[in-house]
A and B are shown apart, each in its own frame.
Chain A
Amino acid sequence: MKLLVIDTATEACSCALYLDGEIQDRYVIAPRQHTSLILPMADELLAEAGLKPTQLEGIAFGCGPGSFTGLRIACGVVQGIAFAADIPVAPISSLAALAQATYTKYGAVKVLAAIDARMHEVYWGRYKIDDKDIMRCESKEIVCAPNDISLPSEGQWYGVGTGWATYAENLKAKLGKMVQDYQGKTYPQASAMIPLALAAFQEGKIVSAEDALPVYLRNKVVQTRS
């Protein structure tokens, strides 16, 4: 399969190309430069592989949660490519991407992914590896105060994501001995989404260009007088 993956959900900007088992990728931490970087990255990867955009067979992207504008940059780019090339899209959770990368890197099989959501909140999800080495969300992904996170029932969990950098003390206090270790300075990355994207394509969890949409989690965006 010829699959392109892009992510601009957080401060990081990344792109990966999967060609029947081979992976090439680009990854930089570059806040507010995603619009300048993302298409040149994709163009470079395709040029190196001698591919035209219309030869892609599928596309995946980090659909959120994350920065609203960041999510729409990746989403808009993906909608354009998917519509123009007439290929399906696999939307991938940013929290799942963090969990999958933690499994690949540290062998962690239970992961608590947290992204700093600003406004004293985190985007939060509990992930466990399945028998096909794919991270699955144990409960619903939510946005909440660090003190209101949904707790796992038992076991040793690995924390990952910027939520752990900002709110380590709150999260450790809530979770106690269930925290095995954590990595706060970690961002979602396109290359880490490839196993998730391949699984999504295999399981038919794909959508057309117009249905590829951001998952914001935070939906109350207007301050109204009560």
Chain B
Amino acid sequence: MRVLGIETSCDETGVAVYDTKQGLLGHALYSQTDIHAQYGGVVPELASRDHIRKLIPLIKTLLNESHTKPDEIDGIAYTAGPGLVGALLVGAAVGRSLAWTWQVPAIGVHHLEGHLLAAMLEEPAPSFPFLALLVSGGHTQLVEVAEIGKYIILGESVDDAAGEAFDKTAKLLGLGYPGGPALARLAEQGNPDAFNFPRPMTQRPGLDFSFSGLKTHVLTTWRAQTQNKQTRADIARAFEDAVIDTLAIKCRRALKQSGLTRLIIAGGVGANQRLRSRLGELAKEMSVSVYYPRPIFCTDNGAMIAYAGAIRLETGQSEPLAFNAYPRWPINELNYSVS
């Protein structure tokens, strides 16, 4: 089965063709970052306006580059939520009507299921069950993936997502938007012993996270210091260390509690190299295997939506002609069986 996947939940327009026999045949991505940078964050109305300009041209490019003819497409998958409702509706409207016109089934995919299964696009792909650490600008969750279609949230952020904390902290330090990656680069020049920031919620039991306090900690530290280049790098380092350490502590705890032996890192922050090497060390120490999607499939993309959609379409699931978008949609509400 060959599926066209469409992702428009936030500020990236992503499309891909996935074939259940041949694997990923192609993917294309357009990022709106430059449009939103001047406003210091994603402006939902501008995001929607850009998706509707870019989606069809991107699909055209994709079909050309992946040598896929329209009549070879057996199904359409679009992100139905969670995300920005106006942005989601663009992908849903285009995706559902493409499917109607071509008379093939369509499926509304859960954005986070896409992220959780993104590692399945890599060689070797993990087998089930596994523990997934999902860290992005919108989410920080530890999810037990029992099998495809069965997702149990073990812990999640009670306030800011890890990626959000990166971006907000970068803004405080004057690194612009989106500053997460810039903050990570700056941290490389920081002295790891200059400051020691708290590891939130690690002293009590449980697998939930909280990152908004760290951001305040950065602000008070920055204000109390001589604000020079080195201090900025030192604070960036201390902040990144605190986030990575916190994520690692909770991963260790979750692996221990669940007895799972495979760890998957997904989401935009999963592209952070120091997080990857830290979790790599943890995995080695605990004798568990660790899997990462390639960096471009950590951030939002169409390939993970095409993959998750193909799996669900193959089980016979599909959407009626009435389509919708679900800005809030807990992943544990998704529950289906592939067998």
**Residues of A that sit less than 8 Å from B by CB:** 35-37, 39-40, 42-43, 52-54, 68-69, 72-73, 75-81, 83-85, 209-210, 213-214, 216, 221-222, 224
Report the interface size for chain B: residues with CB under 8 A from the other chain. 36
Report the bound CA distance from A99 to B16 in whole Å.
43
Report the bound CA distance from A72 to B90 in whole Å.
7
Residues of A within 8 A of B102 (CB): 54, 84
Report the bound CA distance from A221 to B47 in whole Å.
11
Report the bound CA distance from A52 to B104 in whole Å.
13
Task: Tell me, yes or no, whether B201 is within 8 Å of chain A by CB.
Answer: no
Residues of A within 8 A of B86 (CB): 68-69, 72
On whether A209 and B322 interact (CB within 8 A), knowing A80-B101, A221-B43, the answer reads no
Rounded to whole Å, the gap between the CB of A25 and the closest CB of chain B is: 18
Task: Tell me, yes or no, whether B52 is within 8 Å of chain A by CB.
Answer: yes
Q: Which one of B59, B322, B324 lies within 8 Å of A83 (CB-CB)?
A: B59
Report the bound CA distance from A216 to B48 in whole Å.
12
Q: Which one of B46, B94, B323 lies within 8 Å of A79 (CB-CB)?
A: B94
Q: Which one of B60, B70, B321, B325 lies within 8 Å of A39 (CB-CB)?
A: B321
B55 in contact with A79 (CB, 8 Å): yes
Residues of B within 8 A of A221 (CB): 43, 45-46, 49
Report the bound CA distance from A213 to B50 in whole Å.
11
A77 in contact with B60 (CB, 8 Å): no
B96 in contact with A80 (CB, 8 Å): yes
Residues of A within 8 A of B320 (CB): 40
Q: Which of B40-70 contact A (CB under 8 A)?
A: 43, 45-46, 48-49, 52-53, 55-57, 59-60, 70
A77 in contact with B57 (CB, 8 Å): no
Residues of B within 8 A of A42 (CB): 100
Report the bound CA distance from A181 to B96 in whole Å.
42
Q: Which one of B46, B55, B60, B70 lies within 8 Å of A222 (CB-CB)?
A: B46
A213 in contact with B53 (CB, 8 Å): yes
Rounded to whole Å, the gap between the CB of B319 and the closest CB of chain A is: 10
Residues of B within 8 A of A43 (CB): 100, 321
Residues of B within 8 A of A79 (CB): 52, 55-56, 93-94, 97
Task: Tell me, yes or no, whether B257 is within 8 Å of chain A by CB.
Answer: no
A-B contact count (CB 8 A): 107
Residues of B within 8 A of A224 (CB): 39
Interface-central residue, A78, A79, A81, by most chain B CB under 10 Å: A79
B52 in contact with A76 (CB, 8 Å): yes
Report the bound CA distance from A221 to B320 in whole Å.
33
Report the bound CA distance from A35 to B94 in whole Å.
11
Q: Which one of B57, B92, B93, B98 lies within 8 Å of A84 (CB-CB)?
A: B98
Residues of A within 8 A of B53 (CB): 213
B101 in contact with A68 (CB, 8 Å): no
Task: Tell me, yes or no, whether B306 is within 8 Å of chain A by CB.
Answer: no
Q: Which residue of B lies closest to A86 (CB)?
A: B70
Other than the given A75-B93, A77-B94, A79-B55, 8 more pairs (CB < 8 A) read A35-B325, A36-B324, A39-B100, A53-B103, A81-B98, A83-B98, A84-B97, A210-B56
Residues of A within 8 A of B324 (CB): 35-36
Q: Can you pick out 7 interface pairs between chain A and chain B where the beta carbons lie within 8 Å of each other?
A: A69-B85, A80-B96, A80-B101, A83-B60, A85-B101, A210-B56, A214-B52
Report the bound CA distance from A209 to B63 in whole Å.
15
B101 in contact with A53 (CB, 8 Å): yes
Report the bound CA distance from A72 to B281 in whole Å.
48
Residues of A within 8 A of B90 (CB): 72, 76
B48 in contact with A209 (CB, 8 Å): no
Residues of B within 8 A of A84 (CB): 70, 97-98, 101-102
Report the bound CA distance from A92 to B93 in whole Å.
19
Report the bound CA distance from A53 to B86 in whole Å.
26
Interface-central residue, B55, B70, B101, B320, by most chain A CB under 10 Å: B101
On whether A35 and B55 interact (CB within 8 A), knowing A54-B101, A77-B96, A80-B94, the answer reads no
Q: Which one of A36, A69, A81, A222 lies within 8 Å of B97 (CB-CB)?
A: A81
Report the bound CA distance from A91 to B60 in whole Å.
21
On whether A222 and B89 interact (CB within 8 A), knowing A54-B101, A213-B53, the answer reads no
A40 in contact with B321 (CB, 8 Å): yes
Residues of B within 8 A of A52 (CB): 103
Report the bound CA distance from A224 to B102 in whole Å.
43
B89 in contact with A35 (CB, 8 Å): yes
Q: Which residue of B lies closest to A42 (CB)?
A: B100
B322 in contact with A76 (CB, 8 Å): no
Report the bound CA distance from A72 to B50 in whole Å.
11
A73 in contact with B70 (CB, 8 Å): no
Report the bound CA distance from A75 to B103 in whole Å.
20
